[in-house]
Every structure is written in structure tokens, then in C-alpha cells.
Amino acid sequence: MQKSTALEIIRTFTSDDSARFEDFIKSPYFNKNSNVIRLFVLVKKYSPDYNSQELEKEKLWGKLFPDKPFNYGTMKNLIFELKKLTAKYITVHELESNKLEEEKILVRALGIRNIPRFFISKVHEIEKKYRFEKLTNLKIETEDYLAFMFLIKYMKHAYLRVYDSKLARNEDLQAYTTLMICSFIRTATSFYNNIMVQSLEINFQPEKNALLSFVNILKEGAMDEILKAVNEYSTPAGKYINLCWLRVKAIMKDAVAEDFYEFRNAVYNEAGTLPALELKGFLSGVVNAANMLNSPEINVSKERVDSLKLRMRRKILTHDDGRIYALELLQYFWSAGNINDFAIIEKLCKDYVAKSNDVNKDNVLKCGEIFFKIRDEKYNQALELISIVTPETFMMKVHLRMLKVRCFFKTGEYESFLYEKDSLNHFLKSNKSLSEKNINQLKDFFEKVNRLFRLKRNFDDIEFKILRDELLSNKNYPVWMRDEVLKSWKTR
């Protein structure tokens, strides 16, 4: 039975789930086969891993039916029935934990069964409880809210037209059509963001498709008309949909820095009114937009750290399980290191990594320690730590290489740097998943450090001015590199 779907589902059960599921299958409404109950009672003895040899079909049969010879067909059917019941249980559990879905199903059932008084009172209760203005306190994702309220308003209007057409108001028609558009725009802009981010992270070019064509139509002026209509229905809803649209504008191929700052400023201005989950999404959108725009005017590392600080203030940094994952923490480390914000790395290590149960926790703490050694100018010790860290992803290898180069420069190890530089091409050829943009940035980083080395060893006025202008005109170069070019002038 170890490879059965039933056991695969049961392995996900908490102790509370197991107790509730036992009650569930003992209910004659859901199950009338007492042998399935007996089977589960036997199986649950081997929680939480469920890896015991006692879970073999023949051994379970021997305990269930000690006086009967093993019957493969009967045992297979029992396990199949258990699988159906576990699937039913997680469906019911999910429904009960999704209040919007439960409310929607009830309203639909009341309409189908034609119970007008309860139908109307229930819809009015929902309209009062789930106003857009209350969304910040409801702990509901806006995407789910818009889809839910669209269906509630639609079912209300459709039912009243049949039950009593005099009660079917034009305001409800206006509401459900507007909410439908809002729901669609919210989902479409979110998908657009995902497509564009994917094209940035890996060597992938988004093909022409219906969504991209639709966004281009909106860009030609249709979105302005939609926003006017939405604002007439609800000013808060209009502000929210405008944020969704500004996020799209900021990541279009022809976006400029002004588009980014319009979106960024709108997010930070509305941060206090946005639900927690929405704010997290928009803050991620700000960082993604800065990264995609690749503008010398926008410091991507600073934007990521600013986003992090707001998440920490609003207590929305962690996921629903109370954790923040290792790769996310490392992304913050790299960005904070680029702007020499060692204090935020220290705070992350103290308040988040140290309390984490992540299996990669020790690796993350080592990376934090590397930055602290760099902060304290103990570069050789930082290099020793880099040598014992196990890179979990390709991008982690990239960042560790860059930290190594930083330490080589600080210790004046030009030969070690040249060896690292020479091995770069082989490194890139063996890792073809890196996007062209990231490859160019990495090559440029090594080229600039090489020029800094040469300037440090043999100062030249003309080369200094050229390199200084290049580094200072682009806010995305690490702070330490920009400081070093100025330092070379003072110590020439």
C-alpha cells in the first residue's frame, strides 16, 4: 500500500487532520463501509512517515481479516474506497477553509432551489460584509474578492430578473459588469507580469499571444476609458486597477524610468490601504520592474532592500507558514551587500534565519557571515568561508564568484582575480540557462574590476576619468566599486 494515492494523501495529514478524517469516515453520510474505517485505524498507527513494512497489502489484510485468505481484488477495492474518501475529505476541508467559495455555493444553491427570502437576505449580508473599502481588514486576496463579488452581483441580478423583475436594478448590472472587468484586468495583468518576469530570468523570449495583443490594445487608450468607468463605480477599486495597469506599463518593452517611478510611487503611497497579500505582490512588481528596465537611473539593489524594509515594517515578509525561504534571504543578502547595507543583513540573520527551520539555514548563515567579514575588512576570512559554502543554485554560484572577486581586489590578489576571470567563459558555457542580460552584466563586472586593478597598479588620468564616469553614471554598480574608483584618485 506504500505507493497508493490514498497513503500519499494521508502522509500530508496533521494529527488534527487524522482525527477529523476518522470522524469524517465514521459519518454514514460519507461512508457506510466499516472495513474502510478499520483499514484507516490500522494505517494511522504508522504515522507520520507511513514507511513501515506492516503497510504491505498482505500484512494489512492479515490484521483486518485474520481468518480469510488474501484477496487482491477486495483489498484493492478497500484501498480505492479509502482514496476516494481522503480526496473527499481534503475537498470538504478546502471548501470549509475558503469562506468566499462557501458563500458563493450557498447563494447559487438558494437560487437554484428558489428560496427568495433567504436568497435576498444572504446577498444583502454579503454586500454589506464584503465592501471593497473593507478589503484591507478581510485578509482576502483581491483577485479572489473581485471574482467572488462579480458572481454574487451577477447571480443577484439574474435571479431577481426571473423572480421579480421590478427588483432587478440597473445598479446591479453596472456593478457585476464592472467587477467582471476588474477581475479580468487583475488576472490578465498578473499573468502579463509573470510572462515578462520569466523572459527576464531565463533564456526565453515571450511569443506573440492573445494576452500580449490584448495588453497592446489597452495601451492604445482603451485602459483610460476602463479606468473612468471603474472609478464611477468605486474610487478605491479604480485606484487598485490603476495600480495593476501601472505595473504593466512599467515592464513593457518600451517602458522608461518615468513609468517605473510612477508605478513605484503609487505603490508606496497606497501601501497603507492595500491588503497584505496585495502589497507583497506589488512590492515584488516594483523590484521586477526595476530589474527588467535595466536603467542606469534606477538602483535595483536599493529597490529590493527598500521593499524588504517595508515588508518588515508591515510584518509581511514571511509566508503563510511563518517562514522565509533560503533563496529569498540570499537574494536580499546580495542586494544589501551591493549597497553596503550590512545592518539589514544582520537583522535578517538575527530575526529570521536564526529562527528558521529551513534545511539550508546553515548555508544562509555562512553567507551572512561572509558579508560581516567583508564589513570588518577581514577579506581572507571571507574567502575561506566562500570556499566552504555549498551553492544551491546557479545564481548563487554567480554571486559567490562576485564576492570572491571583491575580496581579491581588496587584498590585491591580481593573479587570483585573473584566474577567476579566465575561468569565466567556461563557467558561462557550461551554464546555458543564464539570460543574455545576466551574462553581459557578469562580463561587464569582471571587465570593470580588471580596469580598477590596472588603475590601482598604474594610475592613468584619462583611464580614471573614463572609468569614473562609467561607474558613477550607473547606479547599479556595487557601492564598493564606485568608492574604489574615487579612492584611486585620492591615492594616485
Question: Whole-prediction pTM value?
Answer: 0.79
Q: How many CB atoms lie within 10 A of CB 447?
A: 11
Collect all residues with Cβ–Cβ distance below 8 Å to 116 and sequence separation of at least 6.
163, 164
- Assess contact for 340 and 480: CB atoms under 8 A: yes
**pLDDT computed for residue 99 by the predictor:** 92
Cell numbers 472609478 correspond to: 231
**pLDDT computed for residue 247 by the predictor:** 95
- Assess contact for 120 and 128: CB atoms under 8 A: no
Q: Which of these, 91, 477, 476, lies nearest to 300 by C-alpha position? A: 476
Distance separating the N- and C-terminal Cα atoms of the chain: 75
- Assess contact for 199 and 205: CB atoms under 8 A: yes
Which three cell numbers mark 435? 539570460
Average pLDDT per block of 10 residues along the chain, 492 residues long: 89 93 96 95 90 91 93 94 96 92 96 95 94 78 91 94 82 91 92 79 62 88 91 89 95 92 96 88 94 92 97 89 83 96 95 74 91 97 94 86 96 94 82 76 94 92 94 96 87 66
Q: Is the peptide bond before 48 cis (omega within 30 degrees of 0)?
A: yes
Rounded CA separation 334/368 (Å): 10
